[in-house]
Amino acid sequence: MKIQWFPGHMHKASKEIAENLPEMDLLIEVLDARLPGSSENPMLAKLRGNKPCIKVFNKTDLADPVLTEQWQAYYEQDKGVKTLCVSRNQTDRIKQISTLARKMISISDARVKEIQAMIVGIPNVGKSTIINTLTGRSIAKTGNEAAVTRQQQRIKISDDVVLFDTPGLLWGNIINEHSGYRLAISGAIKDTAFDSEDAAFYLAETLIKQYPEMLVERYQLSEAPQSEVELIEAIGRLRGCLRSGGQVEMDKACKILINEFRLGTLGRITLETPDHFTEENKQAIEEAEKKEQYKKANKADRKKRWKKNRK
């Protein structure tokens, strides 16, 4: 999926993060537990180096608990990374972020008398809600659409921990096509920036492969659907998305499927596993390198022909 959405404030935020992250004691990255790999910013992985990092799995009440454990084990292979699972209403769990930060960074190791922690995450991942819970008051703006926070803020959450909040951040080139779909489905990208039918068909395909029993139960089906069209048409008929003559309004049915995934009414679902995500990324990088080599070869060939024609 080609994503045509990278607002100017995100470009500015990327530069500011790159400049300020080296001065931080700790990185806190909020991930969507339903797509942990796709919601991890590859730019940060490069910038972090060996800096300690807390990966906060948010929305774990909506994610597959078995796959969440797999993702935690995957990230904690890095000795500098700890994970913490939270959900919107788990106030006590969210407040453990401060405790975990103190365990990972002692005050004697911090650059000053307090721990300097940068908190980052993709748009609409729930980062602002987490910050407001940590402080006990409404400091960060929240909302159900992408790109609510637009500038960095310095927020003291305790006597010895200071958070540097950043805008919800995507990256300019999402080379893994599967990640593009998942980010769109999750709400990290504005709905106007992608084709909802295309995204819904991708989601339908994934659900048919991974969670057929949930679909049967949710949409009162006699058996698991065999194709994306079959599933979406069944949703349209059940939800009354019909034109005259009984034809299903596919666009409405597609939006219903995406919305029910976002709300968690389909059940606890995770769209990717560590192994599959790693393989997808590997293939995407290889394809991108081949395209780049092809472009360079074509450019060199055009240059030769131009020189030849000049003679």
- Given a cut of 90, is residue 276 above it in pLDDT? yes
* pLDDT reading at 27 higher than 60: yes
> Could you tell me the end-to-end alpha-carbon distance of the chain, in angstroms, rounded to an integer?
44
- 3-state helix/strand/coil string of the chain: CCCCCCCHHHHHHHHHHHHHHHHCCEEEEEEECCCCCCCCCHHHHHHHCCCCEEEEEECHHHCCHHHHHHHHHHHCCCCCEEEEECCCCCHHHHHHHHHHHHHHCCCCCCCCCCEEEEEEECCCCCHHHHHHHHHCCCCCCCCCCCCCCCCCEEEECCCCEEEEECCCCCCCCCCCHHHHHHHHHHCCCCHHHCCHHHHHHHHHHHHHHHCHHHHHHHCCCCCCCCCHHHHHHHHHHHCCCECCCCCECHHHHHHHHHHHHHHCCCCCCCCCCHHHHHHHHHHHHHHHHHHHHHHHHHHHHHHHHHHHHHC
Instruction: Give the C-alpha separation, 185 to 260, whole Å.
Output: 10
CA atoms of 87 and 267, how far apart (whole Å):
15
Work out the average pLDDT over 265-277: 97
**Can you tell me the distance from the alpha carbon of 158 to that of 98, in angstroms, rounded to the nearest whole number?**
8
For 133-178, the pLDDT digits (tens) are 998 877 655 544 444 444 567 888 888 899 999 888 887 778 899 9
Give the chain's mean pLDDT.
Answer: 87
The model carries a pTM of: 0.86
Residue bearing the bigger pLDDT, 108 or 228: 228
Work out the pLDDT band at 205, boundaries 50, 70, 90: very high
pLDDT at residue 110, rounded to an integer: 58
Strand partners, 163: 117, 155
Average pLDDT (272-281) is: 96
| Contact in structure between 122 and 44 (CB atoms under 8 Å) | no
In the chain, the percentage of residues whose pLDDT exceeds 90 is 60
Q: What are phi and psi of 278, to 5 degrees?
A: -60, -45
Domains of the chain with CATH codes:
8-165 (3.40.50.300), 195-263 (1.10.1580.10)
- The model's pLDDT over 154-165, given as tens digits with 9 standing for 90+, comes to 888 888 899 999
Q: What would the pLDDT profile of 71-81 be if each residue is shown by its tens digit?
A: 999 999 998 99
Yes or no: say if 180 and 1 are a contact pair by the CB < 8 Å rule.
yes
β-pairing, 115-121 with 81-85?
unpaired
| Six-digit token string for 233 | 């048409």
Dihedral angle of Cα 183, 187, 191, 194, to the nearest 10 degrees: 10
- Using CA atoms, how far residue 124 sits from 32, 127, 139, 143, 148, in Å, is 9, 8, 16, 7, 8
% of the chain with per-residue pLDDT over 70 = 85
Predicted pLDDT at 144:
46
Which tokens belong to 25? 């004691």
